[in-house]
Structure 1
Amino acid sequence: MKLKLLIPFLALLGSCSVSKTKNSEKKLSDDELLTEVQRQTYKYFYEGAEPISGLSRERYHSDNIYPQNDKDIIATGASGFGIMGTIVAIERKFITRAQGYEHLKKGIDFLAKAERFHGAWAHWMYPSGKAKPFSKGDDAGDLVETSFLAQALVTLRQYYASGNAEEKALAQKADELWKGIDWNFYRKNNENVLYWHWSPTVGWKMNFAITGYNECLITYIMAACSPTHGVPAEVYHQGWAKSGKINTNISMYGHPIKLKHNVVGESVGPLFWAHYSYLGLNPKGLKDRYADYWQENRNQTLINYDYAIANPKGFKGYGKNSWGMTASYSVKGYKAHMPSEDFGVISPTAALSSYPYTPKESMQVIRNLYENMNDKVWGEFGFYDAYSETDNWYPKRYIGIDQGPIVVMIENGRTGLLWNLFMSAPEIKAGLKKLGFESPKI
């Protein structure tokens, strides 16, 4: 199954042309390999974008094993990741600055007209801009997915702040979109906690309070930083941090963890928890009364690395060159993989998006996948979502919310580009201070 839109895009993108799949033919330096992985992965958000909106598809299947009925569904969070990835693509000259502007403008114009619910977008949208139900009762506002997009809007605004007149106008439009999110409404009658969902048809029926620790730190950061609908610090401390109950004191493979992950038992969650909130939010030197976020994220990553080396379940292929568990496709359907929920599945985004925390260990995975596993795991949009050597399972499929952090976090590890842009925003500095954070960037 091929995307019809690939043909005209490939003609346009000389520097973004499809790479050879026999990747062992040329030995690339680490820098060259990182650039190649970023370039190929970014294509998901450019050549493979949903054509009407220019935003990110929820998923895309290159294989024909099962019909894909949702290839045109737009994912809000992944679209935010794609916006940040486009900034990387411009700076690395995968696309021209003019191409990047046109692509970003198309997406921002779509978001401005799309259905919103007290400022929040739905998890999924149709190309018409109408919300597509994610599940029963979850058919409208999704505050967490919206927060992933909001961090991108702030980053985009900062990127174009000193641009030409057209770029500054786009920055202004992005600014208006993020300032239109009514974070206070999602406190459900001014409770000191944020709620994930609201729907005009079922109201607060989902009743899902967002509490830590998981992937949602950025939701509270964006809510506190909003100059128009900002929530008080108590919402963060009493809601997210559960009045201090967010803390724990465990150690796995010699790596201490101070934040209690929302999983069964004393363990750590899937690695996307160390990625999604930190695409713009710089964890280096970031501390509050609960944690040192750089140490927490690095330790969670090292736990994954050491777990794969220990390989307590004896899965084929696990080791220093093949590690990393997160939410992805799985031999058991879509699963959130972690040490306590391990089915022998490796998700490339887990180690690749952890590159800032573990550059050496992540590079081992990148090189193994690219040089040794070749066509089994590499396709038109970079590495496929997941694989299992134990089950000889190599589906040729992509998920937007897994591809996006690869481009962004590798860049943060290389240059700090997105971290520097996001942390330069005055509202972010003020909001972090309000919550009691320390950072060399504020």
Structure 2
Amino acid sequence: MKKIIIFLFASFMLSSCQSQKTVTETKNTETSKLTDQQLMDKVQKDALKYFWDYAEPNSLLGRERYHEDNIYPQNDKHVVTTGGSGFGLATVLVGVERGFIPRDEAVKRLNTMMDFLAKADRFHGAWSHWINGETGKVVPFGRKDNGGDLVETAFLTSGILMVREYFKDGNAEEKALAQKCDELWKGIEWNWYTKGGEKVLYWHWSPEYQWEMNFPLQGYNECLITYILAASSPTHAIDAETYYQGWTRNGAYLTDKSKYGLPLYVKHNYSEEYGGPLFWAHYSYIGLDPTGLSDKLIKNYFDLNKNQVLIDYQYCVENPKNWKGYGENYWGLT
């Protein structure tokens, strides 16, 4: 299962960082001669390059994107992404584990990242979607989205906790790194984002616009990890009632529908017929193993994710709208 999660994550990050043309050319030239293990190595190394070789130079966190033409503000080389940086933290650990990068160099870099995050703008413990990597100040994601982003914070925190667990029993420097991670995690006020005690988490809060974004987190989508972390917090936890009333919509997110003979189990927010885009089967599970994961409504989240992926695959094989390229060797819609 660990290998599956690492492969899914590395594959997703590779697809995010290359154009379709480049992926197609790579497949037709280099990868056609690779064994499965060589392909796995290449995908993981290429995913790591984005976060290791291409990191924002001051914070060493993951850039949102960067084009040298600088046409758009979000292409600025110093705009870092919090959620994407959480994925980057996981990728660095894979690089250490697989011997792609030296462990001591990784620890040095990770210390820089944690020190930056400790000084960066936070909003009741949550970070913004984008941060200026030079100053640590919020970079607005939208006009009113200039404060805490709880979902991006959850993706970042998932990576922070992976770093903590990976190094907590190491040498003195590694234990100190793990302690920094623990302090960052404990500073997040998850329960603040219930808007004064409502039984649901809210995505955004801004000191300027307060709750005007008004986006409650309700399943099923990529946000499950937000509730898992909020319920697990040793300092600012939500209760089970918030999870069931908010995330599961009092159980209303369940469905008895199937596609291609595969149960969906839940109503995916944007497609109750086919399930959601595959990043919904990636983001919450970068460090959270769905095998045997259950609550009072879902017996096994692995089955939910497995069926979502298989439905995506079957859809591309069937290709009912005759999209060019869809088929058994070209699928994975995100």
TM-score, shorter chain, exceeding 0.5: yes
1:178 Cα shift? Answer: 0.6
2:329 to 321, 331, 336: 321
1:224 to 202, 218, 231: 231
Write the distance in 1 (CA, Å) between the matches of 2:70 and 2:126.
Answer: 35
- Equivalent residue of 1:243, what SS? coil
Write the distance in 2 (CA, Å) between the matches of 1:72 and 1:261.
Answer: 35
1:254 Cα shift? Answer: 1.6
Residue 305 of structure 1 corresponds to: 313
Contact conserved, 1:246 with 1:290, CA < 8 A, in 2? no
Write the distance in 2 (CA, Å) between the matches of 1:48 and 1:204.
Answer: 35
Write the distance in 1 (CA, Å) between the matches of 2:283 and 2:30.
Answer: 31
Write the distance in 1 (CA, Å) between the matches of 2:181 and 2:168.
Answer: 11
Write the distance in 2 (CA, Å) between the matches of 1:25 and 1:174.
Answer: 38
Deviations 1:259-306 (A, max 9, x none): 111115533111100010011110111122222211110111011111
Contact conserved, 1:179 with 1:226, CA < 8 A, in 2? yes
Deviations 1:365-399 (A, max 9, x none): xxxxxxxxxxxxxxxxxxxxxxxxxxxxxxxxxxx
Deviations 1:307-359 (A, max 9, x none): 11101111121111100111xxxxxxxxxxxxxxxxxxxxxxxxxxxxxxxxx
Amino acid at match of 1:276: Y
Residue 151 of structure 2 corresponds to: 144
1:315/1:264 CA distance change after superposition, 3 Å: closer
Residue 9 of structure 1 corresponds to: none
Contact conserved, 1:259 with 1:290, CA < 8 A, in 2? no
- Equivalent residue of 2:30, what SS? helix
1:174 correspondence with 2:181:
yes
2:203 to 196, 201, 206: 196
Amino acid at match of 2:48: Y
1:70 correspondence with 2:76:
yes
Deviations 1:236-271 (A, max 9, x none): 011111111110111111211011111155331111
Deviations 1:405-440 (A, max 9, x none): xxxxxxxxxxxxxxxxxxxxxxxxxxxxxxxxxxxx
> Could you say which structure has the higher helix fraction?
2
Contact conserved, 2:194 with 2:201, CA < 8 A, in 1? yes
Q: How many residues align?
A: 306
Write the distance in 2 (CA, Å) between the matches of 1:246 and 1:51.
Answer: 43
Write the distance in 1 (CA, Å) between the matches of 2:325 and 2:70.
Answer: 25
Deviations 1:200-230 (A, max 9, x none): 0010111111111100000000000000001
1:72 Cα shift? Answer: 2.4
Write the distance in 2 (CA, Å) between the matches of 1:81 and 1:25.
Answer: 25
Residue 122 of structure 2 corresponds to: 116
1:295 correspondence with 2:303:
yes
1:265/1:274 CA distance change after superposition, 3 Å: closer
Residue 6 of structure 2 corresponds to: none
1:51 to 57, 60, 84: 57
Write the distance in 2 (CA, Å) between the matches of 1:54 and 1:34.
Answer: 25
1:215 to 215, 222, 226: 222
Percent identity of equivalent pairs = 55
1:186/1:251 CA distance change after superposition, 3 Å: same
2:42 to 36, 46, 53: 36
1:25/1:92 CA distance change after superposition, 3 Å: closer
Write the distance in 2 (CA, Å) between the matches of 1:142 and 1:24.
Answer: 40
Q: What's the C-alpha RMSD, in Å, of the aligned pairs?
A: 1.9
Residue 259 of structure 2 corresponds to: 252
Within 5 Å, give how 1:128-167 maps onto structure 2: 128-167=135-174
- Equivalent residue of 2:141, what SS? coil
Normalising by structure 2, we get a TM-score of 0.88
Write the distance in 1 (CA, Å) between the matches of 2:272 and 2:165.
Answer: 41
1:65/1:231 CA distance change after superposition, 3 Å: closer
Deviations 1:36-91 (A, max 9, x none): 110111100010011110000012448x6967743321000000110111110011
1:286/1:69 CA distance change after superposition, 3 Å: closer
1:105 correspondence with 2:105:
no
Write the distance in 2 (CA, Å) between the matches of 1:289 and 1:233.
Answer: 11
Amino acid at match of 1:181: I
Contact conserved, 2:169 with 2:175, CA < 8 A, in 1? yes
Within 5 Å, give how 1:353-432 maps onto structure 2: none
Write the distance in 1 (CA, Å) between the matches of 2:90 and 2:222.
Answer: 18
- Equivalent residue of 1:55, what SS? coil
- Equivalent residue of 1:104, what SS? helix
Residue 289 of structure 2 corresponds to: 282
Normalising by structure 1, we get a TM-score of 0.67
- Equivalent residue of 2:265, what SS? strand
- Which structure's relative contact order is higher, taking Cα pairs within 8 Å and 6+ residues apart? 1
